[in-house]
Each structure stands twice: as C-alpha cells, then as structure tokens.
Amino acid sequence: MKRSLLSALSVVLAASSAVPASGKGTQAGVYTAEQAAEGAQVYARRCAMCHGARLEGTVETPELIGKFVANWADRPLANLYDYLARAMPQNAPGSLPPQDNARVLAFLLRANGAPAGKAPLPADPASLRRLNIDPVQRMASRSRN
C-alpha cells in the first residue's frame, strides 16, 4: 500500500513538473534574433567541433535539429538549459557562462524553426521552467535560419 502510494505520488509529481504552468511555448517568440545570432557565434567557437558547423552531428554526437527537438518536446525549456549548463561542451562541461548557455539555446531554437520575439531568453532556470518546448512538427513548418 505504502509503495503503491509513493509510486503514484512520484508519477503525479513527474507529470506536474513536465508541463509548465503558463503553457507558453517556444512558438511564442521566447528569444531575440540578436540573441540567436550571438548564440551562433558561441556555437561556432564551442560546439561546432563536435556537433558540426550546420548542427548535423557526427557518428559520435547527435544532430541538433529535427529529432533533437522532438526528444525535448513538451518539456520545460529549463530541462534543456540545465542539460547544456551541466554537460556541455563535452570537452569542458559546465564551462559556459549562463548567458552563453541561453544564447546557444536561442540559436538552437532558431535553427529548429522557433520564431524570434522581442525579449531575450532568460538565463535562469526558474524563468525557463515556465516555458515549454513545442513539438518539432510545429517548428518544422517554419523555415530554418
């Protein structure tokens, strides 16, 4: 009884943390064009050596377009931000400053078809928890930049 109650509670907690309360998604313009352009520069210096100049990936690293976003879809943007901040770049995990992580994330969103907006993507996980990554099929309908 106790075990099943704990299991049920953990499922409810996981589900509630998976979808942000505001419901605002990446299709709402959650970064600026300038921020994505800055992210492209950071990406070129710190990420392209492993993930490719065009985000195409290699045999050892995943591409960062298409299926990549599908794997993160319907989750808070904070999840992806936290992963980038903790695990990337692979040769120096956690070495990018928070603003650069947000810039790279803005670049990845742009590359996957999410539109730019008027306000920059925040660099703090608490704010990013209120933003959801829209499914790739909605992003794929936009052209890549």
| pTM confidence score | 0.80
Three-state SS for 63? coil
Q: Which letter does DSSP use for residue 20 in this model?
A: -
Domains of the chain: 2-140 (1.10.760.10)
Name, in order, each residue with C-beta under 8 angstroms of 37's C-beta and a sequence gap of 6 or more. 107
Angle formed by the axes of helices 77-87 and 98-111, nearest 10°: 120
- Per residue in 81-122, pLDDT tens? 999 999 999 999 999 999 999 999 999 999 999 999 999 999
